[in-house]
């Protein structure tokens, strides 16, 4: 890898996925995950969660994070109610944050990979709920998810057999 450039790499290994990243990437991802935890546990919104000069209410941020995706507002509200616990549980984010404190390369066990995917998706949704989303956050969370998926299932991206 070129010196001075951030990276996140993942490869299937043994009982999980071996993850390697720069210290800056780990620090940045840990910061983003801490913002998610602060929102999920204490309803702390990001600076970009403002309308004109006032902060958005946490319920407005959640509605922007999880917009209506069903045929009606009632069906979307029902979906959010059924999955609220999963979508707002900070435990997966805490586990990812703990792993991000470990030196790389680190082995992420197979049973923790869903935590990583869920956490990165929620970090991205939290940032997309701002008035001017940071596109680097969007890109980095997608990079993490894509590398983990490719490590587990290369043919999902390449079409090649394992």
Give DSSP secondary structure letters for 19-69: EEE-HHHHHHHHHHHHHHHHHHHH-PPPTT-EETTEEPPHHHHHHHHS---
* Residue 158 lies inside a defined structural domain of this protein: no
Domain that holds residue 128: 8-46+54-151
- The pLDDT tens digits for 75-97 are 988 888 888 888 889 999 999 99
DSSP 70: S
Does residue 162 form part of some domain?
no
Structural domain includes residue 20: yes
Asked whether residue 157 is assigned to any structural domain, the reply reads no
Q: Evaluate whether residue 159 is within a structural domain.
A: no
Q: What's this model's pTM, rounded to 2 decimal places?
A: 0.86
User: What's the pLDDT band for 131 if we cut at 50, 70, 90?
Assistant: confident
User: Is residue 1's pLDDT more than 60?
Assistant: no
pLDDT at 52: 57
Structural domain total, the chain = 1
Whether residue 62 is contained in a domain is answered as yes
């Amino acid at each position: 890898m070129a010196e001075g450039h951030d990276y996140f790499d993942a490869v299937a290994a043994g009982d999980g996925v071996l993850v390697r990243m720069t210290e800056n990437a780990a620090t940045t991802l840990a910061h983003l995950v801490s913002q998610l935890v602060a929102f999920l546990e204490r309803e702390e919104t990001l600076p970009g969660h403002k309308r004109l000069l006032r902060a958005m209410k946490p319920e407005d941020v959640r509605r922007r994070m999880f917009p209506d995706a069903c045929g009606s507002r009632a069906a979307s509200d029902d979906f959010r109610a059924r999955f609220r616990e999963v979508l707002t549980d900070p435990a997966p984010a805490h586990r990812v944050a703990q792993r991000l404190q470990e030196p790389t390369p680190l082995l992420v066990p197979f049973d923790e990979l869903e935590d990583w995917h869920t956490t990165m998706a929620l970090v991205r949704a939290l940032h997309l709920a701002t008035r001017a989303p940071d596109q680097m956050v969007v890109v980095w969370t997608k990079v993490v998810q894509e590398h983990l998926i490719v490590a587990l299932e290369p043919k999902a991206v390449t079409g090649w057999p394992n």
